[in-house]
């Protein structure tokens, strides 16, 4: 019988520590150079693990990006939801949620696009992917919540409207046409479409 380990045994601790090192290494390299310019070897080296070990913690390179980017997305979402609470107009409130998300996916535009691509096209069975999906669900719920404030929109099914807003966001943030636009321009484009959606 063990003395009920407050630190969960050496094995679990080592695993956690390695995951931390890998996450930190990937975050730093991806953020600085962009996911496409970094090799999995480099991440493994920086994390001081074997190149094969990397793939025990993230099944693909894209999963590694999800692992890193989910954190930023979650922060953006929280920030947006808070900001939305202060808005009175529905569209303004929706945009308050969306704006931090735009920013977080365009700080390093290549990473943001790859992240969103992976959410739609990646394997939803992977754990980091599942987390990303739950973030998009939370985003839609937050938007639906805001839409539900309005009587008229309440009758039009906020959840479904939120789903459409989500589609608009995705295309507006990923389409290569928007690559050279500023964050503000992308935001305006989205706002414009949402206005049309909610009934001109």
Partner DNA sequence: CTAAATAACTGAGTACGCTCATAATTGAGT
Partner DNA sequence: ACTCAATTATGAGCGTACTCAGTTATTTAG
What length does the chain have?
200
Assess 199 for contact with a second copy (CB under 8 A): yes
Per CB under 8 A, the segment of 45-53, 57-65, 100-108, 118-126 that binds a second copy is: 118-126
Phi, psi of 113 (to 5 degrees): -65, -40
Decide which of a second copy, DNA, none touches 78; Cβ closer than 5 to 8 Å per partner kind: none
Q: How far apart are CA 66 and CA 134, in angstroms?
A: 12
Assess 32 for contact with DNA (CB under 7 A): no
Assess 120 for contact with a second copy (CB under 8 A): yes
| Secondary-structure breakdown of the chain: helix, strand, coil percentages, each rounded to the nearest 5 | 80, 0, 20
Q: How far apart are CA 8 and CA 159, in angstroms?
A: 41
Assess 46 for contact with DNA (CB under 7 A): no
Among 170, 181, 187, 188, binds a second copy (CB under 8 A): 170
Name the residue with tokens 């390179």.
Answer: 61
The closest of 199, 197, 138, 146 to 171, measured between CA atoms, is: 197
Binding site for DNA (CB under 7 A): 2, 9-11, 14-15, 18, 38-41, 49-53, 55-56, 59-62
Binding site for a second copy (CB under 8 A): 113, 117, 120-124, 155-157, 160-161, 163-164, 166-168, 170-171, 174-177, 192-193, 196-197, 199-200
């Amino acid at each position: 019988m063990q003395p009920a380990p407050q630190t969960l045994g050496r094995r679990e601790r080592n695993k956690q520590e390695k995951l931390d090192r890998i996450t930190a290494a990937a975050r730093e390299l991806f953020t600085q150079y962009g996911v496409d310019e970094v090799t999995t070897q480099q991440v493994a080296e920086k994390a001081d693990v074997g190149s094969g070990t990397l793939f025990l913690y993230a099944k693909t390179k894209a999963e590694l990006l999800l692992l890193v980017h989910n954190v930023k997305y979650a922060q953006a979402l929280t920030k947006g939801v808070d900001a939305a609470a202060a808005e009175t107009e529905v569209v303004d409130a929706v945009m308050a949620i969306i704006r931090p998300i735009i920013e977080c996916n365009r700080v390093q535009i290549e990473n943001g696009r790859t992240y969103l691509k992976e959410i739609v096209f990646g394997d939803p069975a992977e754990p980091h992917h599942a987390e990303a999906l739950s973030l998009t669900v939370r985003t839609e719920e937050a938007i639906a919540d805001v839409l539900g404030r309005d009587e008229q929109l309440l009758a039009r099914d906020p959840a479904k409207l939120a789903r459409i807003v989500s589609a608009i966001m995705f295309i507006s943030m990923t389409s290569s046409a928007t690559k050279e636009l500023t964050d503000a321009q992308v935001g305006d484009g989205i706002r414009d479409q949402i206005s049309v959606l909610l009934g001109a």
